[in-house]
Amino acid sequence: ALAPLCRRHIEACAKIGIGIYLTQTLREREVQQALWMKGRDNAGNITIPSQVVTHARPGWSWHEYGLAYDVALQTPHGTITWNDVDMNKDTIRDWTQVGIEGEKLGLSWGGRWKKLRDMPHFELTGGLSIGVVARAGMLPPGWPKGATA
Report residue 29's pLDDT band, with 50, 70 and 90 as the boundaries.
confident
When pLDDT is averaged across residues 39-65 and rounded to a whole number, the result is 92
| pLDDT, tens digit, 9 for 90 and up, residues 100-147 | 999 999 999 999 999 889 999 999 988 788 777 766 666 555 555 554
- pTM confidence score: 0.84
The percent helix, strand, coil of the chain (3-state, each to 5) is: 35, 15, 50
Range 74-98 burial, b when 16+ CB lie within 10 A, else e: beeeeeeeeeeeebeeeeeebbebb
3 state SS of 122: strand
